[in-house]
Structure 1
Amino acid sequence: MVASARHTIETVTIPAGSFRMGDARGVGNPGDGETPVHEVYLDAFEIDATSVTNEQFARFVDDTGYRTEAEEFGYSAVFHLARTAPDDDVLGQPPQTPWWLGVRGADWRHPGGAGSTLEGVADHPVVHVTWNDAQAYCAWAGRRLPTEAEWEYAARGGLDGASYPWGDEAPDTDGTWRCNIWQGVFPSSNTLADGWLTTAPVRSFAPNDYGLWQTVGNVWEWCQDWFAADYYARSPREAPQGPDSGTVRLLRGGSFLCHDSYCNRYRTSARSSNTPDSSMSNAGFRTVAVTS
């Protein structure tokens, strides 16, 4: 089903029901707040089958003239092996995460910085979009970002308590990769066993049993909620909306950079966060329908 004349991403309806939200396997980082596992009930809702693509985001920009925050700031965070810009365009390199570079001119149209374009990646997820940018898109499309609970419920595809959208098997069981994550030695050498160094087309691999594609790996996806590590201990059972306030917004799903040597957040219950004005080459979003 297509949502509207503006928002042409295919959508699916998720049935009403209850599920156990959180890390049922006990493998998450305690600081991420994936526990306690708690029961959540949600009414039925409509969500995008895929992340919003470059092609779809371009429709929004062409219609509105919107400039993303990366374009306004003049730079964004680029994974070092994806940089196409010259050395002079590197504005910074965090010592704690040296695989990230602040690159002048990197934005959604130029994901690697100068010298990069969207040629050949129209069906890849849009990246270098902040939470604020995603909100602007939603306002134009008449939609909204999913709550964290909606995101996890839909991402599970009906597999309550499973580690991944396909079950508990490792992503490369039987030699077949089920998601776009890092293979090799992070962050210097990627064997490309899954076929991709950075983003993959949104309909790569296989959808979950609800029909959602790539809810783990590929790109992190912004959610509506503020983040708090202790929220699950006080979350209401019905339709939780997250904390009333905060400093960082939730991201879900992991990305093409996830690797067990430093980050196992390509699990369905995994959580991350960033400031709402942060943009990077491994984060995008999907949307849900606004209901009365």
Structure 2
Amino acid sequence: MKYEKMNHIKPIFFKSTFLLYILVISIACSNKKSKQKSNIESTVPKKVMVMDTLGLIKEKPSNIKIPDGMVWIPGGTFIQGAVAHDKEAMSHEKPAHKVAVDGYFMDTTLVTNRAFSRFVKETGYVTIAERKPDWEELKKQVPEGTPKPPDSVLQPGSLIFKKAKTTLPNLYDFSKWWEWSIGANWKQPEGPGSSINGKEDHPVVHIAYEDALAYCKWANRRLPTETEWEFASRAGKLNTIFFWGDDFSQLSQYANTWEGEFPVVNLKTDGYESTSPVAKFPPNANNLYDMSGNVWEWTSDWYNAKYYQKILEKGVVRNPKGAETPFNSNNPLAKEKIIRGGSYLCNAAYCSSYRISARMSSATDSSTGHLGFRTVVDLDMLSN
């Protein structure tokens, strides 16, 4: 059976939901122009600006050195959201809307286990997956009156993927291929007994939003906005579904995704079943690797299903920062951030999120085996 539009099933969900699922608690899967003078004013000092006639910062200032491991993304305008001929586009990828973006620097690759290990060694940081879940915080995300899970369940851990043994009649039931694994974290990505030895150049995973922010603070960087992420991913291809064009048959050449029957058999046509080392697939025109597949990437924007319509009504906004408040009608208690790029689990029958405009949401306490991040730096950060 072919599942049409299964890409609306959210492959990331929050920790509290899955913990309570264990207790057989049913929580659904989620899934005019106006004057904008204030949006066109930049906070970057003029002495480091190189502007075009519209005021956007496009060229890298000659006195600014490119940070290690990053590339300059020239500023410009583009249409954010699904292109008209994308038949897999979801409603929350629409309406498409024009935005303006100042230039910035972005990591060429996802943050790796090697880089995250250095951060942890220097700071002693402990990730959320390594901490005992806080019931007082978790119960804020579930219906009032939900009973507290037993202490045997409320232990440090994270969500790991597990293959199904046979064809699944219902791909809406995420519990069939995810399991809560006590002891799973960035150092043990497949659960207790696993390790990152030999995977130093793989993207770090089991990273919650707070963990990504802690790394950014240490590195003097920040997470990209959703707009910055999509602009960098498009890399000048303003009317294509994928960063390489519109040809789906080339997917295995450009991205680490799931090929075969999900979640039963991965044919590994692209060479990998789980995460792959970064920079193993061709980069996009901005020289950015893994902007499609491998692991999902955090952005700084709140997920609000109504945001695209609201920003369209504002006209062209410069450097939009996303919705002011989160909103997801399927998860009314959740506070979710937008994630981008898809992962090694994305499949045409289930989650076609290897498309440029694909977007999903994840609660800030979520960590899974296919969620990581990359960072950006803007000129204002370097001028301080």
TM-score by length of 1: 0.89
Residue 157 of structure 1, CA deviation: 1.5
State the match for 1:53 in structure 2: 112
Equivalent residue for 2:78, pick from 19, 25, 31: 19
State the match for 1:200 in structure 2: 276
Given the superposition, is the C-alpha separation of residues 76 and 38 from structure 1 closer, same or farther in structure 2, using an over 3 Å criterion? same
Equivalent residue for 1:152, pick from 224, 227, 230: 230
Give CA deviations for 1:109-132 in whole Å, capped at 9, x if unaligned.
000011111111100100000011
Equivalent residue for 2:289, pick from 200, 213, 217: 213
State how far apart, in whole Å, the 2-side matches of 1:62 and 1:102 are: 27
State how far apart, in whole Å, the 1-side matches of 2:244 and 2:177 are: 30
SS, match of residue 78 in structure 2: strand
Q: Runs of 4 or more off by more than 3 Å in structure 1?
A: 28-31, 94-97
With 94-103 and 160-169 compared, the bigger mean Cα shift is at 94-103
Kindly tell me the number of residue pairs found equivalent between the two proteins.
273
Q: Counterparts in 2 of 1:235-274, with a 5 A limit?
A: 235=311, 236=314, 237-246=317-326, 247-274=335-362
- Please give the root-mean-square deviation of Cα atoms over the aligned residues, in Å: 1.7
State how far apart, in whole Å, the 2-side matches of 1:144 and 1:28 are: 31
Given the superposition, is the C-alpha separation of residues 111 and 171 from structure 1 closer, same or farther in structure 2, using an over 3 Å criterion? farther
Q: Counterparts in 2 of 1:115-134, with a 5 A limit?
A: 115-134=193-212
Q: Counterparts in 2 of 1:60-209, with a 5 A limit?
A: 60-73=119-132, 74-81=156-163, 95-172=173-250, 177-209=253-285
Query: Structure 2: which amino acid aligns with 1:256?
Result: Y
Give CA deviations for 1:98-153 in whole Å, capped at 9, x if unaligned.
10010010000000011111111100100000011000100111100000000000
Percent identity over paired residues: 43
State how far apart, in whole Å, the 2-side matches of 1:215 and 1:269 are: 11
State the match for 1:30 in structure 2: 90
Q: Mark the runs of 5 or more structure 1 residues left unpaired by the alignment.
A: 83-93
Q: Mark the runs of 5 or more structure 2 residues left unpaired by the alignment.
A: 1-64, 133-155, 165-171, 327-334
Residue 30 of structure 1, CA deviation: 3.5
Equivalent residue for 2:373, pick from 282, 285, 292: 285
Residue 178 of structure 1, CA deviation: 1.4
Q: Which has the higher helix share?
A: 2
* Residues 66 and 105, structure 2, Cα contact 8 Å, conserved in 1: no
* Residues 171 and 179, structure 1, Cα contact 8 Å, conserved in 2: no
Q: Larger Rg: 1 or 2?
A: 2
* Residues 221 and 375, structure 2, Cα contact 8 Å, conserved in 1: yes
SS, match of residue 131 in structure 2: helix
State how far apart, in whole Å, the 2-side matches of 1:55 and 1:64 are: 14
TM-score by length of 2: 0.68
SS, match of residue 205 in structure 1: coil
SS, match of residue 129 in structure 2: helix
* Residues 339 and 359, structure 2, Cα contact 8 Å, conserved in 1: yes
State the match for 1:86 in structure 2: none
SS, match of residue 253 in structure 2: coil
State how far apart, in whole Å, the 2-side matches of 1:26 and 1:123 are: 33
State how far apart, in whole Å, the 1-side matches of 2:360 and 2:276 are: 21
Query: Structure 2: which amino acid aligns with 1:76?
Result: S
State how far apart, in whole Å, the 1-side matches of 2:363 and 2:249 are: 30
Given the superposition, is the C-alpha separation of residues 2 and 102 from structure 1 closer, same or farther in structure 2, using an over 3 Å criterion? farther
Given the superposition, is the C-alpha separation of residues 291 and 214 from structure 1 closer, same or farther in structure 2, using an over 3 Å criterion? same
